C-alpha cells in the first residue's frame, strides 16, 4: 500500500508554525490542526505548492517569499480618514487594528499607520505583506474531499467557519 500523497481534491490536516523574522506569528500548536482543501487556493500559493506530494506524518520547513505569500506592500493601500469618522472610544494610535466594511460589505482589515492632527492614515495592507514567511508544517491527516466540499471549494470539517 503506497502512502497517499497530497494532491488536488484531498482535504489535508496540518500542524503548522509560521515565523516571520524568527518570531512565531501563528501556530496550530495546542489547537486543532488546520484543515484545507488542496488545489482550491484555500491557503497561500507558495505554501500550497510546497505541500504538494507530501505524505501523512511528513514534515518540512517551507520558506515563502512575500510575492507568493501575502503580497508585497502596496503603497496605494494607505488611506487617510478624518478623526471624526472613528468611534469616540477608539484609541487612535499607530498599530491599533480594526475591521472596516469594504465597498461590497466585505470585512476589510486595517491598522493605524500614523495620526497627524485631525488625519488618521490607515494601512490596508495585510499585516504580513512584504514578509518572508517561514512555515514548519506537518501533515497529520488526509482524506478525499466530499462532493459538497469540491462544490464549495473549501473543507467543511467539524469546525465550520
Asked if 65 and 14 sit in the same domain, the reply is: yes
Please report, for the domain that includes residue 17, its CATH number. 3.10.50.40
Residue 66 phi, psi dihedral angles, 5° rounding: -55, -40
Asked if 65 and 81 sit in the same domain, the reply is: no
Asked if 21 and 62 sit in the same domain, the reply is: yes
| Within a domain: 4 | no
- pLDDT, average across residues 38-45: 94
| Within a domain: 3 | no
| Within a domain: 20 | yes
- Per-position b or e across 19-40, b if 16+ CB within 10 A of its CB: bbeeeeeeebeeeebbbbbbbb
Answer for the pair 108, 79: CB distance below 8 angstroms, yes or no. Answer: no
The pLDDT, as a whole number, for residue 101 is 83
Q: Could you tell me which residues come within 8 angstroms of residue 45 by beta carbon, excluding any fewer than 6 positions away? A: 68
Each residue's pLDDT tens digit, 80-110: 999 999 988 999 999 999 988 878 888 888 9
**Number of independent structural domains in the chain:** 2
Asked if 111 and 148 sit in the same domain, the reply is: no
The pLDDT, as a whole number, for residue 160 is 45
The pLDDT, as a whole number, for residue 102 is 78
User: Residue 88: which domain range?
Assistant: 75-123
| Within a domain: 106 | yes
Each residue's pLDDT tens digit, 107-160: 888 999 999 999 999 999 998 999 999 999 999 999 999 999 999 999 986 554
| Within a domain: 135 | yes
Q: Could you tell me which residues come within 8 angstroms of residue 84 by beta carbon, excluding any fewer than 6 positions away? A: 118
Query: Cβ–Cβ contacts within 10 Å for residue 120, how many?
Result: 24
Answer with the residue of higher pLDDT: 4 or 35: 35
- Residue linked to cell 497517499: 4
Asked if 43 and 91 sit in the same domain, the reply is: no
Asked if 29 and 49 sit in the same domain, the reply is: yes
Asked if 63 and 139 sit in the same domain, the reply is: yes
| Within a domain: 1 | no
| Within a domain: 5 | no
Amino acid at each position: 500500500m503506497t502512502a497517499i500523497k497530497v494532491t488536488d481534491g484531498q482535504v489535508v490536516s496540518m500542524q503548522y508554525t509560521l515565523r516571520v523574522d524568527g518570531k512565531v506569528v501563528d501556530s496550530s500548536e495546542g489547537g486543532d490542526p488546520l484543515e484545507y482543501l488542496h488545489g482550491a487556493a484555500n491557503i497561500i500559493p507558495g505554501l500550497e505548492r510546497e505541500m504538494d506530494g507530501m505524505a501523512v506524518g511528513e514534515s518540512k520547513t517551507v520558506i515563502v517569499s512575500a510575492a507568493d505569500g501575502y503580497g508585497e506592500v502596496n503603497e496605494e493601500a494607505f488611506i487617510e480618514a478624518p478623526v471624526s469618522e472613528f468611534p469616540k472610544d477608539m484609541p487612535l494610535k499607530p498599530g491599533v487594528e480594526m475591521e472596516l466594511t469594504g465597498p461590497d460589505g466585505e470585512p476589510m482589515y486595517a491598522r493605524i499607520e500614523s495620526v497627524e492632527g485631525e488625519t488618521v492614515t490607515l494601512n490596508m495592507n495585510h499585516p504580513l505583506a512584504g514578509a518572508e514567511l517561514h512555515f514548519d508544517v506537518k501533515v497529520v491527516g488526509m482524506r478525499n474531499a466530499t462532493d459538497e466540499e469540491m462544490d464549495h471549494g473549501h473543507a467543511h470539517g467539524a469546525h465550520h467557519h
